[in-house]
Structures are given as structure tokens and as C-alpha cells.
Structure 1
Amino acid sequence: MSVSGIQSNASTYNNDNVSANSSAGDMSSLFLTLLVAQIQNQDPLNPTDGTEYVSQLAQMSQVQSMENMSALMNQNATLIDNIQVLTTAGLVGQTVMVQSDSIEMGEQAIDGRLTLGHAATNVTVTVKDSAGVEKTIDLGAQDAGQVDFTIDPEELGLEPGKYTLSVVTDTGEQTVPIEIAGTVNNVRIPLEGGAALLNIPGLGEVPYYKVSQFGGKPSASATA
């Protein structure tokens, strides 16, 4: 993440601020010029009611307030983007947890964690490849809450590739959240805008907002 990119955003913020103030000032000057011209050229036998001028001034004030509010919102959006850049840049090399039911298996083991809603006497993690071949990791009896596990490709005989994960319990839980741990290799800010993308081994590029935990690494509670 280059410093120049951050400076560029800050420059944009300052330019937008100056532009907004100049626009509001120009509008106010133009309105006053027109108002003075209106007063000078009114019919002396049928002068304009003073309340009309007050109404026009009030309308002008409302327009200026709306323009200033819009400019402030744009400035805040720029500041939030800058903060996101600084925050995500600091994640490089850090371990995070991401909720996912699929992984890209390589040669290295992948740590994961599941969350049980109820205690179970038999918990199994199923790892299935694109051809539908399944391998299982028996976690045995587990209490309700978080349960750590490890997917070891050597022990399970898994070839590099994409796999889907699921959990089966003897209590019949239909949905068991699965989280995968990984170290952030780099952070990419899309040129077209949007959330920062974290490159994590085993998960690929993951939007910043999908991270469920920052820091910490689960220790394997069971392997196949």
C-alpha cells in the first residue's frame, strides 16, 4: 500500500472542500446580486412586499444548507475510505477468521472452527471435492459452542483443488457455521471502488467485511 495513494486521497478531500465552499459562495453572491437588481428595478407605484424578500432569503438559506450537507457527506465518505486503507494495510501478515463453506486446498494444512448450537455425541466434518468424493474428520463428542479442527491434506489424501465443507451431528443441526483461519498475504483496493479485498491462502480474495475475527489462531482439536 503506497503512501502516495493515501496522499492522493487526502488531496482529493481538500480539493472537494475548496470546490464546495467556492460553489456555495458563488451561489450566495449571485443570489444577492439578483435580489439587489430586483429591488432597484421594482415598480415604485407597486413595490414588492417585504415578506417576499424574506421568503426568498429563507429559500436561499435552505439551498445553501443542503449543498453544504452534501459536500460534508462526500468529505466524510473520503475520510472513511482513507481510514479503511490504513486499517486494511495493517492486516498484512495477520491471522484472521472468515466464515466459509469452501476452501482451496494446497499442500499445507488448514485450520478451521465450527460453532455448535447444541452439545453432540458425534460431530463430523465432511470435505467433498468437485467430483463428489468425500473425506471425513471425526471430532467425536463436543459441547455446544466453538470447536476447532484441522484439515490435513496428507492425512486425508486430498489433492490440490477446491473443496466444500459441511458438518453432520447426531443432534441433526441443519446449519453449523464454519470458519476458516488464514494469514493475510496482501490487501487489494479495487480500482472500480468497493470494499478492500484480503488475499488469504485457502480462501482467495475475501471482502474485508466478511472477516469474523482478527488475530488469534485456533489449535486443532482433531485430525483425520
Structure 2
Amino acid sequence: MADGLVLVVEDERAIADLVRLYLSRDGFGVHVEHDGVAGLAAARRLRPVASVLDIALPGMSGTEICRRLREDGDWTPVIFLTARDDEVDRIVGLELGADDYVTKPFSPRELVARLRAVLRRAAGGVAAAAERPRTLGPLTLDPGRRSVAVSGAPVQLTSTEFDLLAHLVGRPGRVFTREELLAAVWGYASHSGTRTVDVHIAQVRGKLGAAGGLIRTHRGVGYAIDG
């Protein structure tokens, strides 16, 4: 039995075929589309366990697919495929709620590993803080319910964003390096992946509004949250 259906939207057919092959080998069902409009329709129709979206797609960009799904209230995990690191800046600006991104050229095995990690987080597999709710200023995080609120108003985070925030909240005042956060939240640690942490910190800060200021940047080291 397959581990669930993964939607892959990629217009470069050789890349799409390679991703399909590796995901299938790892036990996933795979549905592939090659343009954005068909990709969005497939996401809404098939309700996959996760989506792998190229950013530069004909018809509709991967970022637009993600934006529309989030507007629908669909928080299914999304991994972006990007051609350049500077495309990630657009993800930060739009605060789309992607769970991870992989820069081309990429290792298909790494993509599968990241997808597995995202799905574990979405299932609540990361226990990053104590079971009881924690409150820091206007911010309240409840690990059991996997919920976040600012001044009583709920804040919608992706599973990755939640686990990143929960890890910081679990040790307020403690400065975590980017490599430590990668290992604890994403399940891998390498200097080349530290940009991932910066992207997600920016997304979390944006969603928390004024409470995002609780997350402090320690230049040359990493991040901490005020206690």
C-alpha cells in the first residue's frame, strides 16, 4: 500500500520523471502535472498528502498555486523547487506558507528525505517543547493542540513553521545556531541548508505580527526567542 499520493507539478519532463521515479521507489503514489493551472486543479481534486511545486510554471506559478490553496484553507505540506536561491526572497515576501524548498540542481534522494521529514512534522512527530502551553508576552503556543495565538487571536502556521517556533519557545533566551535548528526541526544539518532557516524565521515573524519581534537574530550565530 502506498504511503499516500504526492502531487508533483514540474514542466521539465525529465525532472518530473526523475522525481516520480524516486518517490515511487520510496513507496508513494505520484501524480504529475506539467503546468500550473492543471496542477492547482489536481491539488483540489486529488487532495494529496503533499505537493512538490516548481516555481516557474507555464499558466500559473507554483507560488500562486500555493497561495490559492492556503486561501482555500488547505494547509497540505508544500515543497518548492527553485532555480535560484534569490527566488526564495519572493517566497518570504509573499508569506505563502511553504514547508521547505529545494534549489535546482538537487539530489532526488534529498528531496525524498525532506518530503518524509515534512510529513512527519505534519503528523505531529516533532516534540519541540513541553506538553503544556507556553506563553511569552502576547504569544501562546500549545504543543498538544499544535496551535499558536497572539493576544488570543489564532495564527495559522505550517507544520514546519510551528515546529521551528516551538523549538525556540521550548528554551526561551537560548541562542540556537542555524545548524542546530536544521538538525532539530528539519532532521539534517549542513551549512548549505542554513538559508532554509532564515526563510522560515522570516515567515514566522511575518505571521506573528508585532509578536514576531520576540524572535531575535544574533548575527553570525543564530536565533533566540525572548523569555
In the superposition, the TM-score normalised over structure 2's length comes to 0.18
Determine which structure has the larger helix proportion and give its number.
Answer: 2
Larger strand percent: 1
